[in-house]
Amino acid sequence: MKKKEFSFKLISKFKKARLGRIKTPRGFIDTPAFMPVGTLGTVKGLFVEDLKKTNTQIILGNTYHLMLRPGSNILEKFGGLHDFMNWNKPILTDSGGFQIMSLSKLNKIDKDIGATFRSHIDGKKIILSPEKSIKIQKSINSDILMVLDECPKLTSNRDTLKKAIDVSTEWAKRSKIEFGYNKNKALFGIIQGGLYNDLRVESLQRLIDIDFDGYAIGGLAVGETQDEMFETVKDITKKMPENKPRYLMGVGTPSDILGAIKEGVDMFDCVMPTRSGRTGLAFTWNGKINLKNSKFKNDKSPLDKNCTLRNLNNYSKSYLNHLIKTNELLASMLISLHNVNFYQQFMGEIRNSIKSRTFTKFYNKYIKLFN
Write phi, then psi, for 281 (nearest 5 degrees): -100, 125
109-123 core/surface letters (b: 16 or more CB in 10 A; e: else): beeeebbbbeeeeee
CA atoms within 13 A of residue 90's CA, in its CB half-sphere: 24
What gap in Å lies between CA 340 and CA 346, rounded to an integer?
10
Write phi, then psi, for 150 (nearest 5 degrees): -100, 120
The CA-to-CA distance between both ends of the chain, in Å, stands at 48
Cα radius of gyration (the chain): 20
Beta strands in the chain (DSSP E): 7-14, 17-24, 27-31, 33-36, 59-62, 91-94, 107-110, 114-118, 125-128, 144-146, 186-191, 214-217, 246-248, 267-270, 281-284, 287-290
What gap in Å lies between CA 112 and CA 294, rounded to an integer?
56
From the candidates 50, 266, 269, 304, give the one annotated as an active-site residue.
Answer: 269
CA triple 37-59-220, angle to 5 deg: 50
From the candidates 50, 94, 213, 256, give the one annotated as an active-site residue.
Answer: 94
> CB neighbours of 12 closer than 8 A, spacing ≥ 6?
18, 19, 354, 355
| Active site annotation includes 269 | yes
Q: Is the peptide bond before 254 cis (omega within 30 degrees of 0)?
A: no
**DSSP state for residue 300 in the 8-state scheme:** -
Catalytic amino acids? 94, 269
